[in-house]
Structure 1
Amino acid sequence: MTKKGKKGPSVTAKAEDRHWHGKRVKARAAKNASRTGSKTLGPRKPGSSRAGAAQGRAAERSSGATRRPDAPELVHGRNPVLEALREGVPGTTLYYMADSDERVREAIKIAADRGIPLLECGKPELDRLTDRAVHQGLALQVKPYRYAHPDDLLQGTAPLIVALDGVTDARNLGAIVRSASAFGASGILLPERRSAGVNAGAWKTSAGTLANMPVARCTNLTRQLKAYQDAGCFVAGLDAHGGSSIANIPAADGPFVLVVGSEGKGLSRLVTDHCDLLAHIPMFGHAESLNAGVAAGIALYELARQRHT
């Protein structure tokens, strides 16, 4: 959660004093310029609102989190639990069924070495705890996640922050965290409302990288993007009709915020208005769009390439 009145580290120079400030002005002028003719990343064409709502509910049910609000937050399955333990995910209890599988034995050993309580139980109990998910006889109860403050993401002279706008599937959040960790991002920014949070589904998909990737929450995303701009960051949003290709982003080597929207709706209008530039991912096949996790991974790879060449 956010901390009122906290001041985080500044990013060396104000926006207007940085060498790319002129590029930002030009980028803003060209943001809504002519549309590209190639297929690009972006929201699918609007369909039935009922169908979209049904898809959203289905995604939440299959995200890996338990369905009952009073159920514990669990990572389940042999590989996800073992990866989580190896990465130091903060667990409170390891539930296991007696099994000779090597992964189960290793999970028990790691949990015991870390002082995580062990509880042997039968299949009916694990079925109940995981709401009949595929647990393979192993589940890890996870501590409630402690969010960072948005200012904490402004570390170093050239932070790379990933802000999510309307991404409500915890699996997409976990996949984005994993890509952010792989390509050197400083942290993830989430709005407090209408957004996935760090739950068991996110832990599972992140393959343990959430243990080392700070995630911050803000009460107002557009206000926080403005604060990042005032701190010297260049803000670029992924949009199907962005005037620039993700391969040609100005100021990619400086303090940077990449904004990723949902697959269905893309970026909201207010967030779009607060971006310095809108960029697209060129696509040459038959797919009309990419989901948020895949799109963020491609964009982060390209930004990392530009930042390190």
Structure 2
Amino acid sequence: MADVDPTPREDLVGVGPWPGGEAAWPDDPRYDAELLAEGDRRNVPDEFRYWSVEAIVAELDTRRHPLHVAIENWAHDFNIGSVVRTANAFNVAGVHVVGRRRWNRRGAMVTDRYLHVEHHPDVEGFVERARGEGLAVVGVDNVPGSVPMEGFVWPERCVLVLGQESTGLTPPMQEACDVVVHITQYGSTRSINAGAAGAIAMHSWVLQHVPHPSP
């Protein structure tokens, strides 16, 4: 079944049923019959209109970037959903939840269905997985010894690790990181929202490793 999000005014987003009725439906297995019949109100790019979730994931898998994102989840951090949604926007190869399995999915707005999300009960298991994939482990936290993200050369194959906003990366995770970077701040607040920090870090990696068309 397609992941159609109900909305009080369906005319605000998406498209209606495929014009011409069932007789005019495209002969393509990527298309979802329910969406063709009822319309596609999902927040997806036009190229994926009427496609099934499975078909979209399969196509995204051909375009994934060699970047992974991890976040420690020891107190059900509500920022995880925001991080997942951003990870979808940048089409990362994988998202890793370290600690508690359950997390607040509301902020992800069903984007987790288009990603490969893995759970690791502890830091050791996560690090073993990262090393097995040949990923550098890059922490994001403003702790002593961290280096400014500005000017940092991101490894192409890496996993950026976010801690919880209140406590940051745990000592075991800091110890496991190859390097910890921080976002330079200029105001009176010591920390930056974990969801925002994740978006900044992912975009910083993209600027260095993903070709962009000239304006």
TM-score calculated relative to the size of structure 2: 0.65
Distance 2:12 2:130 in 1: 46
Residue in structure 1 matching 2:3, options 82, 85, 89 = 89
Higher normalized contact order (CA 8 Å, seq sep 6+, divided by chain length) = 1
Correspondence for 2:203:
301
Q: Where do residues 183-198 of structure 1 align in structure 2 (5 Å cutoff)?
A: 183-193=90-100, 196-197=102-103
SS of 2:92 mapped into structure 1: coil
For the pair 1:223 / 2:125, whether they are aligned, the reply is: yes
RMSD across aligned positions (CA): 3.5
Distance 1:102 1:155 in 2: 34
SS of 1:283 mapped into structure 2: coil
Distance 2:173 2:63 in 1: 25
Identity rate of aligned residues, in percent?
Answer: 24
**Tell me, which stretches of 5 or more residues in structure 2 are unaligned?**
18-32, 37-60
Tell me the CA shift for residue 175 of structure 1. Answer: 0.6
Tell me the CA shift for residue 229 of structure 1. Answer: 2.1
Would you say the 8 A contact 1:167–1:292 is kept in 2? no
Would you say the 8 A contact 1:173–1:196 is kept in 2? no
1:75-107 deviations in whole A, cap 9, x for unaligned? xxxxxxxxxx9xx4388xx7x9xxxx5339989
Would you say the 8 A contact 2:96–2:119 is kept in 1? yes
Instruction: Give the number of equivalent residue pairs.
Output: 170
Tell me the CA shift for residue 234 of structure 1. Answer: 0.7
Q: Where do residues 7-18 of structure 1 align in structure 2 (5 Å cutoff)?
A: none
Distance 2:149 2:62 in 1: 24
For the pair 1:237 / 2:158, whether they are aligned, the reply is: no
For the pair 1:246 / 2:167, whether they are aligned, the reply is: no
Distance 1:208 1:223 in 2: 26
Distance 2:111 2:181 in 1: 27
Would you say the 8 A contact 2:98–2:126 is kept in 1? no
Residue in structure 2 matching 1:113, options 12, 34, 55 = 34
Distance 1:90 1:171 in 2: 23
Distance 1:157 1:291, change over 3 A: closer
Distance 1:212 1:157, change over 3 A: closer
**Tell me, which stretches of 5 or more residues in structure 1 are unaligned?**
1-84, 116-153
Distance 1:306 1:260 in 2: 20
**Larger Rg: 1 or 2?**
1
SS of 1:186 mapped into structure 2: strand
Distance 1:297 1:266 in 2: 16
Distance 2:13 2:63 in 1: 37
